[in-house]
Chain A
């Protein structure tokens, strides 16, 4: 799935990718790639504006740490982010079920 199609679902995917454990940007992208079986392709750099936006919205929080002598920014989901993630998951599952129903009805 290409970048433009992913754009509308990026927030949901990023929150889901960080839900299990805090992670830095590269790890989040790798997590998305592995869990999607390589189906999600988007310019990796475009994830950072989305992460910053989610942090400003209070859905993620971040902190600096040191790794291999470099400064690393690690993100984790907030309580508000978890609530938002659950709501968006419900919406997505309802939407995908509806789409499946329509497609089955069309065949």
Chain B
């Protein structure tokens, strides 16, 4: 049971249920006049191999893990995208509002102040963003098509893991950079309400970035562990 790929609380619950099950079984056997050792042997034999039970847990949880990872990826990316492009001149024009401290405040953007040798990093970050979005959509499509038995295929796992790690790094780097420059921009219009709005946006974006990255990395790590355990069982 300790090999089942879930958290501590889940494992405690499983251990409690198994203990109750085995003790109940032994009690019934003893009520039927079976000696203690023989009762325990029969109950354990009927319960089945722990490896088999752990495998069933892993099979049932894998589909759920893939769904969680895919949803976390999509939610994180959607949230970051919305926050990234919300205070944009295009939206300001759409709403008929002039460019002011809220919509594209004056001041340099990250691309303008980054050293030239770091600008390709911005392109890589954007590519990683799209790659992980594609991986997330693909994972969700596979789970919808194959149901709970769908996991991420072993051959595809390295690709998804690489894209996920890259995207997480891209989230962290671009999120920090954008937050820093957002504050810098907001300072150009001191005292304006947009300063507070930008601060809130920055905080929420950082939170979404961290939460999305955490859930994605956690799901990938749990999946890797379950694959390793299934291979060794």
Contact = CB atoms under 8 A, between A and B. Distances in A.
A binds B: yes
Interface of A: 24-26, 42-46, 48-50, 52-53, 56, 67-68, 70-73
A6 B27 CA distance: 27
Interface of B: 13-14, 16-21, 23-25, 27, 46-50, 52-53, 56-57, 59-60, 64, 148
Given A26-B25, A52-B60, A53-B60, A46 B52 contact: yes
A37 B177 CA distance: 68
B46 A43 contact: yes
A45 B20 contact: no
Given A46-B56, A68-B27, 10 more contacts: A25-B21, A42-B48, A43-B47, A46-B52, A48-B53, A49-B53, A49-B57, A53-B148, A71-B20, A73-B13
Q: Which of B19, B24, B48, B59 has the most CB of A within 10 A?
A: B24
**Secondary structure call for the B interface:** helix
Closest 6 CB pairs of A and B: A43-B48, A45-B53, A49-B56, A26-B24, A45-B48, A49-B57
Nearest to B52: A43
B12 to A, nearest CB: 10
